[in-house]
Amino acid sequence: MGFYNIIIKFRFWLSLIAIFGAGTLQLTDLANFWPVFPLYMLGVIGLLSHIFIGPLRLVQAPMEAGNIEEVERILATIWFPNLLYTPVRSTYYTIKGNIAMAKQDFDTAEKHLKMSSSLGSAMPEAEGANKLQLGMMSMQKGDTKQGEAYIRAAIRAGIPDKESEAVAYLSMCQIFMNKREFRAAKDFFRKAKACKPSTKQVLDQIKEIEKYISRMPG
């Protein structure tokens, strides 16, 4: 773990130690206010950054390693998520939503992802990924109208990887096939193939749709 990550991990307690140490030096007449002012300032800055920014930087490594328990442990140290700076809070709820999805707790996932989406994101691609997930969950629930709205919004916002972009276009293709709007369905299918996805699940979906789409008029 890098030095900066260690500081973030123990920032809250280090800040308290700095403030307590400065106060102790003053109360025991070992120093007056101005010599210990830097300690007070460092302590206050540390506390405020813990409250308003949080330790989200620390979740990257365990997320990449698939260590969900460690990610949840880090998130649990954020005691007041509503006080987080808005883009950070959006990321916090996105991570919570993704964890809930991994656990197949779709109601909780939807709640967190909607909260993240309502806050917006400093990165449009993250917003696009959020809306795509919400769209897929709506489709699973049979709410095609809401699913289409979310997936359209995801495509407009931008989707961070070609596999997910292909999934979005295939979903739109299936929606328009069900509407019997075949020209639009074919257009979305072409866009999905143009993404050149490589995962087996997406390729299987393309092959399945390809059986029917060539027979469609338009």
Q: Summarize pLDDT for 10-51 with one digit per residue, the tens.
A: 899 999 999 998 888 888 866 677 888 889 999 999 999 999
Please give the angle made by the CA atoms of 94, 99 and 105, to the nearest 5 degrees: 110
- pLDDT (0 to 100) of residue 132: 92
Per-residue CA distances from 27 to 23, 37, 41 (Å): 6, 14, 17
How confident is the model over 106-140, as pLDDT tens digits?
A: 889 999 999 988 887 656 567 888 899 999 989 88
How confident is the model over 152-194, as pLDDT tens digits?
A: 999 998 888 899 999 999 999 999 999 999 999 999 999 999 9
Instruction: Retrieve residue 96's tokens.
Output: 């919570």
Q: Please, are residues 202 and 167 in contact by the beta-carbon 8 Å criterion?
A: yes
- pLDDT (0 to 100) of residue 22: 87
SS3 158: coil
| Of 163, 107, 159, 92, residue with least CA distance to 137 | 107
Q: What is the chain's Cα-based Rg?
A: 24
- pLDDT (0 to 100) of residue 211: 85
- pLDDT (0 to 100) of residue 212: 84
Neighbours of 6 (CB within 10 A): 12
- pLDDT (0 to 100) of residue 7: 85
CA quadruple 190, 192, 197, 200: dihedral sign:
negative
- pLDDT (0 to 100) of residue 194: 94
- Rounded distance between C-alpha atoms, residue 1 and residue 158, angstroms: 33
The whole-chain average pLDDT of the chain stands at 88
**Predicted TM-score (pTM) of this structure:** 0.74
- Rounded distance between C-alpha atoms, residue 134 and residue 154, angstroms: 9
Q: Please, are residues 121 and 130 in contact by the beta-carbon 8 Å criterion?
A: yes
Which CATH number applies to 59-157?
Answer: 1.25.40
- pLDDT (0 to 100) of residue 8: 86
- pLDDT (0 to 100) of residue 122: 57
| Of 97, 50, 95, 107, residue with least CA distance to 71 | 95
